[in-house]
Amino acid sequence: MPIQFKTYILEDSTYKGGSKKIVMPEGVEVHKLSSNENPLGYSPKVKKALMDSLEELSLYPDNTDIRLRQALVRDFKQELNQDHFITSNSGSEIIDMISKAFLNEGDEVIVSQPCFLPYTAFTRWMGATAINVPMTENFDYNLEGILNAVNERTKLIFLASPNNPSGNYIPKEDLTAFLNKVPSHVIVVLDEVYRHFAEAADYTSALPFVKNDQNIIAINSFSKTYGLAGLRVGYCYAPLHISNYIRKICKPFLLSTMALEGAIAALEDTEFVEKTVALIRQEREFVLRGLSALQIKFWPSQGNFVMIQPTIPDTELVALLEQKGIMVRPVGNFGAPGKVRISFGTRASNEVLLNALESIVKMKTVMS
């Protein structure tokens, strides 16, 4: 009898991350604006912690993540306790853990495209089905449509605020009203990886809802604000009745020594976080103002990136920018065909980007 492979795993649903740096001729600088990485790198305190940890690499790391969870409690100003938190190897693995903890064959989750690909890929790996309730034309969540799509098979609803790749967010009043209407058998998963960059007056994280013991899980990562994408550290927080359940599938020795020490040091360097947030907000305003001047359509963003609608095919724009050493990302596979996501870099990188876009606009205008 042949091996019985699960058909839903055989389907091509593998998440493909952003590309590594392109290779340019000597003397041509590469500006990687394709993966929403921190343009400042990472904290000097993290570097010291990583160097100090090298002497321990022959030993097993901490059996549990308790020290990192205690650091998160301090970062959240003691508003939660250590049992509210779960850490992992990246925010993506948190999504995987949530899927394993709550989904079975035949279950459903609700997503709203465009969205982060693991929401749907990891759902499929569990034999569950992702129901897409598309965002509106302006890339707002159709919260009423999501509620109407809920049925007895629905287990999870994935939301993101700010959302990748569109940059939109969910106002606190809207999220509060929505959560009050979600049936008690459904858990809302709020991806807030980009929360530090949001500055809208009515923006909210999941914190008040977790403190209120509502059925919500908040996903976070050390890859963006803290600049530790290469260390692969993520975490979530949730009400105790949810977090204590998910923790039952956590593996011992899950985080490496370097991941633990690096993440703890990153949380302690609030000055670096403040510097990063200030830079992103400043450069976001600069880039969006430049896009407006070039009459390139974009959508308002609360993240460290912006989604644009080029007047030429997305693949053509990506190729033209790569010729100039600039990396950006097409997001058709996120559910936004023809659109391109651009991360905010340093002022120097952003000026190179806008100058390149201006030359492409002029070139295409002459040719049309």
pLDDT tens digits for range 300-333: 999 999 999 999 999 999 999 999 999 999 999 9
Q: What is the mean pLDDT of the chain?
A: 93
The closest alpha carbon to 219, from 299, 116, 129, 142, belongs to 116
User: What's the half-sphere exposure (Cβ side, CA atoms, 13 Å) at 105?
Assistant: 4
Digit-coded pLDDT (tens) for 87-144: 999 999 999 999 999 999 999 999 999 999 999 999 999 999 999 999 999 999 999 9
The H or E element spanning position 219 is strand 216-221
- pLDDT of residue 15 exceeding 60, the answer is no
Question: Can you tell me the distance from the alpha carbon of 238 to that of 154, in angstroms, rounded to the nearest whole number?
Answer: 19
Judged by phi (left if over 0) then psi (alpha if -120 to 50, else beta), residue 39 lies in alpha
- Pairing relation of β-strands 216-221 and 187-191? parallel
Q: How far lies 165's CA from each of 70, 113, 116, in Å?
A: 32, 9, 7
* Residue limits of CATH 3.90.1150.10 in the chain: 7-42+271-367
Which of these CATH numbers, 3.90.1150.10, 3.40.190.10, 1.10.3720.10, 3.40.50.300, describes 7-42+271-367? 3.90.1150.10
Q: Give the contacts of 25 (CB within 8 A, at least 6 positions apart).
A: none
- How confident is residue 11, by pLDDT bands cut at 50, 70 and 90? confident
Residue that the structure tokens 């390139």 belong to = 296
**Pick the residue with more confidence: 28 or 335?**
335
If one counts every other C-beta atom within 10 angstroms of the C-beta of residue 274, the result is: 11
- pLDDT of residue 297 exceeding 90, the answer is yes
Q: Of the ranges 56-70, 150-164, 297-311, which one carries the lowest mean pLDDT score?
A: 56-70
Q: Give the contacts of 225 (CB within 8 A, at least 6 positions apart).
A: 38, 196, 197, 273, 276, 277
pTM: 0.93
- How confident is residue 176, by pLDDT bands cut at 50, 70 and 90? very high
Q: Of the ranges 8-17, 213-222, 255-264, which one carries the lowest mean pLDDT score?
A: 8-17
Per-position DSSP letters for 15-66, written without gaps between them = ---PPPPPP--TTPPPEE-SS---TT---HHHHHHHHHHGGGTTS---SS-H
The closest alpha carbon to 290, from 199, 352, 340, 336, belongs to 352
- pLDDT of residue 338 exceeding 70, the answer is yes
Residue that the structure tokens 């302690």 belong to = 268
**Pick the residue with more confidence: 253 or 284?**
284
Digit-coded pLDDT (tens) for 22-61: 665 666 788 999 999 999 999 999 999 999 999 989 998 8
Which pLDDT belongs to residue 180?
98
* Residue limits of CATH 3.40.640.10 in the chain: 44-269
Q: Residues 159, 191: contact at Cβ < 8 Å? A: yes
Digit-coded pLDDT (tens) for 100-111: 999 999 999 999
* CATH number of the structural domain 44-269: 3.40.640.10
Q: Of the ranges 6-15, 149-158, 210-219, 244-253, which one carries the lowest mean pLDDT score?
A: 6-15
- How confident is residue 19, by pLDDT bands cut at 50, 70 and 90? low
